[in-house]
Structure formats: C-alpha cells, structure tokens
Amino acid sequence: MRISSIRVYRLDLPLAGAGYAFAKGKRLTVADTTIVRLDTDAGLSGWGECCPLGRSYLASYPEGIRTGIGVLSVHLLGQNPTHIGALNVLMDEALEGHGYVKSAVDVACYDILGKAAGLPVHAFLGGRQHDAMPMYFSLSQDDPEVMLASAEAHWRAGYQHVQLKVGGDVAGDIERIRSIVARKDEHHLVICDANRGWRRDEAIRVVEATRDLDYVLEQPCDRYDDCLSVRRRAAQAFKLDESLKSAGDLMRAHGDDAMDIACIKISKMGGLTKARFARDYCAAAGIPMCVEDVWGGDVVTAALAHLAVSTPKNALLNTTDLHNYNTLHFAAGAPVAKNGRLYVSDEAGLGVTPDEDILGEPMAVYG
C-alpha cells in the first residue's frame, strides 16, 4: 500500500457563544483548522486534522500547517502509510521541528492502518481501557459571577471537573478562584489554568492568597524555570501544559519534580506516535494526565479520544470534547459527550467520516 495523493482542506470553526477568552486578554471566536486526507493505491483513505489556537498561543499557526504539508508531500507520496514509525523518521529528516505540521499526517496514517486491519485506532495505542472517560469543561475567562454560573451549570450536567481560565489581573483571578472553589463539593475537581499568563511574582501572590483552597494550579508562567519556582512554593497540586512539548520535556520535568499532573496534547507532541510515547512514559512514572489536543473539530476529537480511551485508568485524569466547543460539525461518527463523559466507538480507524460538501474543495492537492 502506498500514499497516492494528499488533499488539504481549510475550514473555519466558529466557537460557541462569545468565543474563548484566556490569559493575557487573548480571545478566539473562529478557529482556522486544517483537515488532511491521505489516499492510497489500495483504495483506502485516512483523515487527520490540526488546529492551532490562533497564531499567538504556541509556536504554531494555521498557515504553517498547510505550507509544511506542501514541503513534506514530495517525501510522503509513494510511502507506505501503515509503516508509521518509519514515516515519522522520514518527516523529521525532511523537516526539522514543526511537529504540529506532522500531526495531521500521523493521525491520518493511523486511520488508514485501522481501516486496513478492521480495527479501531485505539487497538494500536494500547487497547480500550475505559467504557467512557471523564471530561473537564473549560470556563472561558469572564467576570467571577459569570464563570461561577457556568461552573454550576456544568456540575449539574454531570461534569466533575472544570477548568477556570485565569492568567489576567491578580486580584480578579484570586476572586475567580475563590468564588468557584468555595462552591464545589468533595467530588468536584477545579483546575485553575493561567496559560502562562502570570509573571513569577504574580503567580506567587496568587498561590499565597489561595493557599487554603483545594484546586489544581496549571502552567502559571511562560518560562519553565518560573513554573518550577512557583511549584516549589504552591500548596496545591501542580500541572504543566505548554512547557511539555516533547518526551524530553517530560523527562526533565519528572526529574525536577516539576509537576504532579501532565497535559499531553497530540499536535503539540507531533502526532499520535509521539504523544503515545509521552503518555506511556507518564503512566510508567505514575504521573496522571489530561489527554487532549490544542484545539480542533471532529477529527481531532476522535484522535484524542482514541488516545485517552487506551490510557490506563489510574493514569488518566481527564480528557475533553473539543468539537463541542464549536458550532460547526463536519464529520459523522465523532465521539459523543454525555453527562460529563466522553464515548468513542469501536469502528475501524478513527470512526469518523468527514462530509466533503461541508469541507468544500481542497485548497491543495499533491499527487
């Protein structure tokens, strides 16, 4: 089996409500996502997707994916998509870094592998280990009373985990944290995610002012060393996200005792192949994880669900249903969210079928 053509689609995903507000005043109302289709000479096709959270969240941007796939296409055409490890080596040799560019290709190869074998993708990632997975809901940064109302609504809907977007002004963030943590019960987990929005001194002020509260503190500062300094002062459990871009970052953080919880995002790691390695490292080290991705629609959500459902129960903290933060769905068979839990099917491959009438004409075709 060989890759015979590569089709690249661009799609705008409008976000629900007023959009998504997070640290440093960032707000996203429409997500620019890239969907990739790999066709083979055996008649099988595989789908992948990558969706950066705008252009200023991480060192990734939507146009970069499309340009990068054009660069990689000459190396990918004619290759066997089921030899995924070898294909990752090939991509890394052809394009240094830019793991997010390679993520959609890697995921599409798993989709083809699953379809060829008649098995779901999670069978190749460790096998199903959950009937359904706990999800968190991310509360867009807003006035404390608005965020509290949203938290309470999602608790009533069955979510046990909520994530507060903080990382703005210190006084306002302290009020946000206090107002919501005070209303949770013993079964609820509150994660306060600053998305690197505080300086070290600001993060220290927050942890000192909330030392008596039960919550998880996530990625308070931009620089790893600043996060490590805050972690050593905080009373709360500590989660790293943006600092973890590779297995090497995980190993360093583990060695430094820099985290209690890790966030494994597929495209940030460079695809399912590398995300699986990172996940398995954390599981072996006893570090619980949130298994997810940066942003995306139905294909991204299917990929993260397959990785999450194959994660050992004692290693999975939670996951999320990114496609339901958007108002546009473009594929049938996507994972289903119900009562705060995520369900993924056992259909072959990713189990999703994009609607090409919604996708429109590809913006690029190679091969």
Structure confidence at residue 86 as a pLDDT band (50, 70, 90)? very high
- Spatial contact of 110 and 304, defined as CB atoms under 8 Å apart: no
Q: Tell me, what DSSP letter sits at residue 197?
A: -
Task: Give the torsion sign (CA, 344, 347, 352, 355).
Answer: negative
Helix (H, G, I), strand (E, B) or coil at 97: coil
Choosing from 102, 265, 268, 274, which is the catalytic residue? Answer: 265
Q: pLDDT tens digits for 140-197?
A: 999 999 999 999 999 999 999 999 999 999 999 999 999 999 999 999 999 999 999 9
- Spatial contact of 328 and 44, defined as CB atoms under 8 Å apart: no
Question: Are 140 and 248 in a shared domain?
Answer: yes
Q: Is the pLDDT of residue 43 over 90?
A: yes
Within a domain: 62: yes
Question: Are 98 and 159 in a shared domain?
Answer: no
Structure confidence at residue 289 as a pLDDT band (50, 70, 90)? very high
Domain with residue 71: its CATH number is 3.30.390.10
The structural domain count of the chain equals 2
- Spatial contact of 87 and 79, defined as CB atoms under 8 Å apart: yes
Q: Is 115 a catalytic residue?
A: no
Cα(104)–Cα(365) distance, integer angstroms: 15
Residue matched to tokens 């690249």 = 8
Exposure string for 341-364, b = 16+ CB within 10 A, e = fewer: bbebbebbbbbbbbeeeebeebee
Within a domain: 330: yes
Question: Are 60 and 129 in a shared domain?
Answer: no
Q: Is 165 a catalytic residue?
A: yes
Structure confidence at residue 26 as a pLDDT band (50, 70, 90)? confident
- Spatial contact of 267 and 304, defined as CB atoms under 8 Å apart: no
Given this model, what pLDDT does residue 89 score? 98
Q: pLDDT tens digits for 221-277?
A: 999 999 999 999 999 999 999 999 999 999 999 999 999 999 999 999 999 999 999
Given this model, what pLDDT does residue 56 score? 84
Question: Are 80 and 225 in a shared domain?
Answer: no
Given this model, what pLDDT does residue 25 score? 85
Question: Are 62 and 148 in a shared domain?
Answer: no
Domain with residue 311: its CATH number is 3.20.20.120
pTM above 0.85, yes or no: yes
Q: Is the pLDDT of residue 24 over 90?
A: no
Domain carrying residue 197 = 124-353
Question: Are 102 and 160 in a shared domain?
Answer: no
Within a domain: 367: no
Question: Are 28 and 92 in a shared domain?
Answer: yes
Burial of 182 by CB count in 10 Å (0-12 exposed, 13-18 middle, 19+ buried)? exposed
Q: Annotate 308-358 with DSSP letters as a single string.
A: HHTS-GGGEEEB--GGGGBS---EET--EEETTEEE----SBT--EE-HHH
| HEC readout, 254-322 | HHCCCCCEEEEEHHHHCCHHHHHHHHHHHHHHCCCEEEECCCCCHHHHHHHHHHHHCCCHHHEEEECCH
Choosing from 102, 115, 165, 239, which is the catalytic residue? Answer: 165
Q: pLDDT tens digits for 102-139?
A: 999 999 999 999 999 999 999 999 999 999 999 999 99
Q: Is the pLDDT of residue 36 over 90?
A: yes
Q: Is the pLDDT of residue 307 over 90?
A: yes
